[in-house]
Amino acid sequence: MKTTRRDFLQTSCSAFTLAGCGLLIEQKSLADHPIPAGGYPLVFPPEFTGGVLEAKVVNQEIWPGFPTTALALNGSLPGPTIRVKKGDHFKARVQNSLGESLVLHWHGILAPSEMDGNPRDAVPSGGFYDVEFPVNQRAGTYWYHAHTDKLTGKQVYQGLAGFFIVEDPAEDSLALPKGEFDVPLLIQDRVSNPGHTLAYSPMMDDMVLGYLGDATTVNGVPNATLSVTRSLYRFRLLNGSNARVFRIALGDNAPFKLIANDAGLLAAPIEVTSIFLAPGNRAEILVDFTSFPHGSTVELKSLAFTGDTTMGSSQGTARTLMRFVGQHIGNGGTAPSTLVPFAPHDLSAVKRTRQFMITMPGGGHGGGHGGGMSADLINGLVYEMNRTDFMVPFGEIEIWEFQNMAEHIHPMHPHGALFQVVSRSTSPTLPPEDTGWKDTILVRPGETVRTLVKFDSHEGAFVLHCHNLEHEDGGMMLNFDVTPSTPPIGGPQLDIRHEAEEIVVIAPHDATAYRLEGAPHVGHEALWTPVTVSPVHSEAGMEFRIPAGGTMRFFRLIKP
Ligand code: C2O
Ligand code: CU
Ligand code: CU
């Protein structure tokens, strides 16, 4: 059965709990603009050919017949696709003609700190800045988007995002589908409203849950349909939603092959029937339509899932993302059996573990909306643009441990490095979407995810944040400096190792003027108490060995 757009809206509206779905008005006005039976054909953004990337307010029709104010780059929404070869210099002038501040971030691209799109580097309306840096990283489907302090959610929602594709010889040598068989799909959920506009108007709840829409656009097209030949395709999926997590599957739950995660190809294809794709994540998949009858339709959909424990959230509801319609026989090639070898970081070379504890504001525990009307916190902190929260020595392998003690799903994303996943507490083996190189990691309520990361591209200031853009704008972001020197004394610079029997905390030798304190949670001054075990001096520094199983998990050095 073909689903009409009206059926689709009715289904999603009935599953949607926010008031103001606007269905009645919509049915009336839609009569003037009937949706074609086959949906709207998918379109592709133009390729960026160099020069200026100008961000500007435009009047455009996302839903045909319904003009809306939107934000475009060089007149295009999504922005033009940037395509570079590994080793190329990427060069662009970012021109801000928005009427508000702007900075663009190259997500997953290892750009120098000054060109990375730190919110500190936003330029006012009318301003511009130049970026130029060599792209020296593996082939992959990266992307770019606005990263302006407290405006990221709005600016991305209204259109400021696009693909940044890197190609390299290792990928070229594989016979992967190319040209028309290599299809980038930027998937975003949209909040439907009577005028079919891209109005961004989060309510208080939306700042806690994220701005969750009931409709979907792909490459900016609602109800999108792509005619495919009966052949193998490579789809580059990018979840550019503000807050919506997708659980990607095909209409008939047919298997498909996962070939790449965030930062490029896996060692070998993995056959799957569904994968999680959080905001910020990319996944590349091979779909084989060869045995697919002429004229038949296959949906790309998102399966229902549980995980966000908040009552009333539409996170995890099932939906159709777009449709593929099979045409004549084509030849996109065959799937290779191996891809690009994966070199894991050396676990035995880990220098320190850094913990990021995600807690509810105000320290509440569970209980529906008890957490208050603001985003959760990372290590008890609310983002402050000009405060540096921790230092990371250049070139050292670290474990970054994300512990989600709050109620919401948080896709965590550091700038400045790619990482590998070591473990996910809820799953004895890593799910396929956690394998290979990543830059954004989904952390569900109650989960602890450990990643291996090495900042060996650039020194300087970077951010770590939640890629739920309402959470980011609400303060779920920290600043860190990748530094060549021995970091100064301070809480996060301690070397902390969780071993079976004890927690080993190593403070620098010259920290004798400081006191070591521990706490079960961070963010509450009253919970910090002095550590009573005495240190032993070793080569590494002053070692405090604290029996495991106690309440202390966080440690800091302070001047008594
Ligand atoms: Cu795509 Cu700082 O983010
Ligand atoms: Cu990023
Ligand atoms: Cu979050």
**Is residue 466 domain-shared with residue 362, that is, in the same domain?**
yes
Predicted local confidence at residue 15, as pLDDT? 32
d(CA 258, CA 287): 9
Among candidates 550, 364, 354, which has minimal Cα distance to 449?
354
Summarize the confidence of residues 452-457 as an average pLDDT.
96
* pLDDT tens-digit series, residues 187-203: 999 999 989 999 999 99
Distance 472 CA to ligand 1 centre (A): 9
Q: For residue 477, which atom of ligand 1 is closest to its CA?
A: 2
* pLDDT tens-digit series, residues 517-537: 887 755 456 777 999 999 999
Summarize the confidence of residues 456-467 as an average pLDDT.
94
pLDDT range class, residue 309, cuts 50, 70, 90 = low
Q: For residue 108, which atom of ligand 1 is closest to its CA?
A: 1
- Above 70 in pLDDT, residue 6? no
Q: Point out the ligand nearest to the CA of residue 378.
A: 3
Distance 281 CA to ligand 2 centre (A): 10
Residue located nearest, by CA, to atom 3 of ligand 1: 107
- Above 50 in pLDDT, residue 367? no
Q: Is 184 exposed, middle or buried (0-12, 13-18, 19+ CB in 10 A)?
A: buried
pLDDT range class, residue 463, cuts 50, 70, 90 = very high
pLDDT, the chain, mean = 88
Predicted local confidence at residue 153, as pLDDT? 98
Q: What percent of the chain has pLDDT over 70?
A: 89
Q: Is 404 inside a domain boundary?
A: yes
Q: What are phi and psi of 559, to 5 degrees?
A: -75, 120
Q: Point out the ligand nearest to the CA of residue 145.
A: 1
Summarize the confidence of residues 482-510 as an average pLDDT.
71
Domain holding 545, by residue range, is 495-558
Q: How many CB atoms lie within 10 A of CB 234?
A: 22
Greater pLDDT, 507 or 492: 507
* pLDDT tens-digit series, residues 37-57: 789 999 999 999 999 999 999
pLDDT range class, residue 157, cuts 50, 70, 90 = very high
Angle between helices 23-30 and 5-14 in degrees, nearest 10: 180
- Poorest-confidence range of 222-236, 331-345, 387-401, 540-554? 540-554
Q: Point out the ligand nearest to the CA of residue 418.
A: 2
pLDDT range class, residue 31, cuts 50, 70, 90 = low
Distance 223 CA to ligand 3 centre (A): 28
Distance 242 CA to ligand 1 centre (A): 11
Q: Is 519 inside a domain boundary?
A: yes
d(CA 478, CA 498): 23
Predicted local confidence at residue 29, as pLDDT? 56
Judged by DSSP in three states, 356 sits in strand
127: tokens are: 């301003």
Q: Is 41 inside a domain boundary?
A: no
Distance 376 CA to ligand 2 centre (A): 19
Residue located nearest, by CA, to atom 1 of ligand 1: 107
Q: Is 335 inside a domain boundary?
A: no
**Is residue 95 domain-shared with residue 161, that is, in the same domain?**
yes
CATH number at residue 369: 2.60.40.420
- Poorest-confidence range of 134-148, 357-371, 401-415, 500-514? 357-371
**Is residue 210 domain-shared with residue 196, that is, in the same domain?**
yes
Distance 46 CA to ligand 3 centre (A): 32
Distance 118 CA to ligand 2 centre (A): 10
Q: Is 367 inside a domain boundary?
A: yes
- Above 80 in pLDDT, residue 291? yes
Q: Is 500 exposed, middle or buried (0-12, 13-18, 19+ CB in 10 A)?
A: exposed
Summarize the confidence of residues 163-172 as an average pLDDT.
97
Q: For residue 472, which atom of ligand 1 is closest to its CA?
A: 2
- Above 60 in pLDDT, residue 368? no
Summarize the confidence of residues 354-368 as an average pLDDT.
73
Q: Is 289 inside a domain boundary?
A: yes
- Poorest-confidence range of 301-305, 334-338, 360-364, 499-503? 360-364
**Is residue 430 domain-shared with residue 513, that is, in the same domain?**
no
Judged by DSSP in three states, 541 sits in coil
**Is residue 233 domain-shared with residue 193, that is, in the same domain?**
yes
State the sign of the Cα–Cα–Cα–Cα dihedral 411, 412, 414, 415: positive
Report residues whose beta carbon is within 6 angstroms of any ligand 1 atom.
Answer: 105, 107, 145, 147, 280, 413, 415, 463, 465, 467
Predicted local confidence at residue 20, as pLDDT? 38
Q: Is 101 inside a domain boundary?
A: yes
Q: For residue 145, which atom of ligand 1 is closest to its CA?
A: 1
Summarize the confidence of residues 252-260 as an average pLDDT.
95
Q: How many CB atoms lie within 10 A of CB 526?
A: 6
Dihedral (Cα; 199, 443, 137, 460), 10-degree rounding: 80
Predicted local confidence at residue 8, as pLDDT? 33
Q: Which of 22-36, 425-439, 497-511 has the highest mean pLDDT?
A: 425-439
pLDDT range class, residue 72, cuts 50, 70, 90 = very high
**Is residue 535 domain-shared with residue 479, that is, in the same domain?**
no
**Is residue 147 domain-shared with residue 93, that is, in the same domain?**
yes
Distance 132 CA to ligand 3 centre (A): 31
Distance 111 CA to ligand 2 centre (A): 10
- Above 90 in pLDDT, residue 224? yes
d(CA 409, CA 280): 13
Predicted local confidence at residue 499, as pLDDT? 73
- Above 50 in pLDDT, residue 416? yes
Predicted local confidence at residue 44, as pLDDT? 98
Distance 145 CA to ligand 1 centre (A): 7
Q: For residue 440, which atom of ligand 1 is closest to its CA?
A: 1
The domain tally of the chain equals 4
**Is residue 502 domain-shared with residue 475, that is, in the same domain?**
no
Which among 172, 203, 223 is the end of a domain? 172
Distance 166 CA to ligand 2 centre (A): 15
Predicted local confidence at residue 17, as pLDDT? 33
**Is residue 167 domain-shared with residue 177, that is, in the same domain?**
no
d(CA 478, CA 465): 6
Q: What percent of the chain has pLDDT over 90?
A: 70
Q: For residue 280, which atom of ligand 1 is closest to its CA?
A: 1
Q: For residue 143, which atom of ligand 1 is closest to its CA?
A: 1
Q: For residue 463, which atom of ligand 1 is closest to its CA?
A: 2
d(CA 543, CA 410): 33
User: Is residue 426 a contact partner of residue 444, using CB atoms and an 8 Å limit?
Assistant: yes
Judged by DSSP in three states, 5 sits in helix
Helices (H), 112-151: none
d(CA 114, CA 120): 9
pLDDT range class, residue 61, cuts 50, 70, 90 = very high
- Above 60 in pLDDT, residue 487? no
**Is residue 85 domain-shared with residue 124, that is, in the same domain?**
yes
Q: Point out the ligand nearest to the CA of residue 475.
A: 3
Q: Point out the ligand nearest to the CA of residue 119.
A: 1
> pTM for the full model?
0.83
**Is residue 444 domain-shared with residue 478, that is, in the same domain?**
yes
Greater pLDDT, 496 or 468: 468
- Above 90 in pLDDT, residue 257? yes
Predicted local confidence at residue 525, as pLDDT? 66
* pLDDT tens-digit series, residues 86-107: 999 999 999 999 999 999 999 9
Which among 127, 143, 172 is the end of a domain? 172
Q: Is 26 inside a domain boundary?
A: no
**Is residue 465 domain-shared with residue 440, that is, in the same domain?**
yes
Distance 353 CA to ligand 1 centre (A): 23
